[in-house]
Structure 1
């Protein structure tokens, strides 16, 4: 009888022993994990370790930190952040938390996105948009917020509504805009909202009872060539181009615009980049070549990568004589001077054009200090390939890890001009300073619009001091593109060719 009683007791002790074993070795199960159990984090680390500009300055990315992808310490590192976004920004990006401080010693612009398609669409100028572009300001009480419309996108929902540049709003769906609610009201995923319009009244913004109902159009594509025209003044023909983003899909159309300027034999050129946050580098090279000339033996930019990539990648990009994709002969104006309107919204590829032209052309900058971004980036997805690495090629969607749809846009380096200059993290300083007067924005492209009017007066040699209303110059703290995934982008395309050649 005793031996039968011992059996269940033995089983009980065995069960207890197993439980105690788990408590003694709590990480026993974790040790069985592999990098594939953390696909997003593993993908992010592999790209950042290989390509990130500040790789040598981030301790977590040091080449000798982990033995290999099977190192238990590496697995534990991947598991340290359950949210891939936190892992990217907190553990991999260089001083991201301090990015608002010393611009030269921090990464302000690398991006990680849960759905890579959103990132790709944004880079192609495709978004969900109702067509209203605006700037936001804070009232004197430092709580309430109002917006001022800067322009309306053609063929958008707003283009058919009674709303235009210079209009003011202070509410959404009947709620007054404040610091605490403006993000939810203006930048949520809601496809519809109604703007409550307002007017300036002295130093106040007062609702006027008007409403504008707006609907976002999915997959809306913006043509960056917003205005192109020829202005005749004082016996001169002046080409004017307002260009809002360097997008590959419009390179041929841009070339046509310069062809028209060339056939009209313009004397001067004004490039209006005031709202241009950047885009593709090859499009910027095309723009600069169309201004200066198609001298393909002249250096336009020199790329600076991390030490790994400087040893294996070509770093020089010269002026071009053809469009990048269609290989169409480039129309060029062969100018010695160009006038560029640039503001605190002007960044990346726009600044690249200004800085890249400076050794060859007299670049006259009218407006404000620019954003200050000389770093370039590229798009990576979890589709490793012997030839293309983790690059997003546009043709590898079917090869992306189904368990990881994250896309990242890390900074890969800095572009310097032919003189070796790239240190403009605090922005490019204007030759003639003027900011937009929110109570007198004027009509874009009109000769009386304040920024264009000043530029024309500089060209004519009749620049005069302006008496400006102090109350009209509140500093904007945000704008309609502030949460765009690729706001202030400079995409260094063309990197796959050297990768393929070395394999």
Structure 2
């Protein structure tokens, strides 16, 4: 087996949605173990947890024949990846059998009716579930048919939403219910809570159609004028590089409005592009250009190569331009209030952790996910890049392994259990409020801190429903943080 030697050259930007030409769907025949060898080689070179997988050791196999014997012991690429090469501590590396779908997901392109929903267990029978509408995307079937935040539904096409017990006390949506939610068209039947907070049908049904849709993550950007205080509110739902200009434009408006405080609402933001997260921290501040935000830690071999040849490439710094070269619109804030929940992960948490050494960051809501590793898309080519002329024309597989973790400028690594809130308040499914309005419970709690108001009365006693999922956990990029700059190594 040809051994891999690491020699660091240059960091080269690779935009995942490369303009390189897609191939026809009719693929040439694959050689035996062709996909498995690609997966193994990518993981063997870049995987963060390589030291924990003995088979990824550089001298573990004495020959190519020995390696292929190992690879042939798995039922296929998925079995090899998840059961042979991913460490037990790794919850986030994944395999895609069609990187075109993966790239669309990174760009916010999905098939949707326009409902972003959360899932909760029926409190009387955990074999059943209900969905609650968290927000509705504009210009979609849901928005056109009157679906609004706070609506509840527990049937699709007259079938109840059901769950599957995972064996560890947790639940997932059943395969049949996922199938119903993925239909091109379906009918939801609305429900409501009665006086005992049990679900009862309302008799109202809504027909929905799912179509391909590109979701702008800059969902709400507005300035609140409260007793003369100009407070910016930004609901940001994903870190997507192709919407950086929209994000920057929102901050230009905050500048023009004279905003002196900002509430950054990341309650449903599972993360995304590291580069966009760096830009967002720079928009919030501006006075720390060039200072360290995060310091990367790769697997030992790549880390050593970086440290020897290009230690600066391990550091992410505040910057003053977005991806298209436009100047960043900065607010120069000295404090920030962030709304976070159990759906807040990865690049969202990087924003919080990265800013903490520089400004006062206070969080409102519930504990975040605790995901502090970045991944990269690896394609089957000599450089593992999409735009390489050697890109394999015989399949569409790609892998998305974790490649580094990070610490902030003070050396603080995010806690695996998540970031605990400074001011705790759980979303009340029976009283979600209107996003962006000053009386919406979580925003109101953040405003209390800014304006020095009492907040004790915000806590409401009542039924707490066990939530267990959301629309986004059915997407490939759910709670993933990724980089678009792949180190260039020579094998």
Partner Cα separation in structure 1 for residue 161 and residue 246 of structure 2:
39
**What's the CA shift for 1:473?**
2.3
Partner Cα separation in structure 1 for residue 56 and residue 158 of structure 2:
49
In the other structure, the counterpart of 1:428 is 419
In the other structure, the counterpart of 2:139 is 155
- Contact 1:294–1:319, Cα closer than 8 Å, also in 2: no
Partner Cα separation in structure 1 for residue 127 and residue 219 of structure 2:
34
Structure number with greater Rg is 1
- Contact 2:191–2:199, Cα closer than 8 Å, also in 1: yes
Distance 1:294 1:399, change over 3 A: farther
What is the CA deviation profile of residues 473-503 of structure 1, one whole-angstrom value per residue up to 9, with x for unaligned ones? Answer: 212111111121011111122235xx27x89
In the other structure, the counterpart of 1:206 is 200
Partner Cα separation in structure 1 for residue 433 and residue 200 of structure 2:
21
Partner Cα separation in structure 2 for residue 131 and residue 465 of structure 1:
35
Where do 5+ consecutive residues of structure 2 fail to align?
1-29, 165-172, 307-312
**What's the CA shift for 1:247?**
0.6
- Contact 1:172–1:186, Cα closer than 8 Å, also in 2: no
Pick aligned residue for 2:297 from 298, 304, 315 = 304
What is the CA deviation profile of residues 49-74 of structure 1, one whole-angstrom value per residue up to 9, with x for unaligned ones? Answer: 10000001111211111134x2x221
Partner Cα separation in structure 1 for residue 458 and residue 331 of structure 2:
35
**Residue correspondence of structure 1 range 116-131 to structure 2 within 5 A:** 116-131=99-114
**What's the CA shift for 1:399?**
4.6
- Contact 1:40–1:84, Cα closer than 8 Å, also in 2: yes
- Contact 2:81–2:95, Cα closer than 8 Å, also in 1: yes
**Residue correspondence of structure 1 range 179-328 to structure 2 within 5 A:** 179-180=163-164, 182-187=174-179, 189-201=182-194, 202-218=196-212, 220-293=213-286, 295-313=288-306, 314-323=313-322, 325-328=323-326
In the other structure, the counterpart of 1:31 is none
Distance 1:290 1:442, change over 3 A: same
Where do 5+ consecutive residues of structure 1 fail to align?
1-34, 96-105
TM-score, length basis structure 1: 0.85
SS of 1:149's equivalent?
Answer: strand
Do residues 51 (structure 1) and 46 (structure 2) align?
Answer: yes
SS of 1:210's equivalent?
Answer: strand
SS of 1:481's equivalent?
Answer: helix
What is the CA deviation profile of residues 104-147 of structure 1, one whole-angstrom value per residue up to 9, with x for unaligned ones? Answer: xx000011011111111111111111111111111122222111
- Contact 2:425–2:459, Cα closer than 8 Å, also in 1: no
SS of 1:414's equivalent?
Answer: strand
Pick aligned residue for 1:474 from 457, 465, 477 = 465
Partner Cα separation in structure 2 for residue 391 and residue 401 of structure 1:
11
Higher normalized contact order (CA 8 Å, seq sep 6+, divided by chain length): 2
Matched length: 445
What is the alpha-carbon root mean square deviation over aligned residues?
1.7
In the other structure, the counterpart of 1:369 is 367
Higher helix share: 1
Partner Cα separation in structure 2 for residue 85 and residue 441 of structure 1:
40
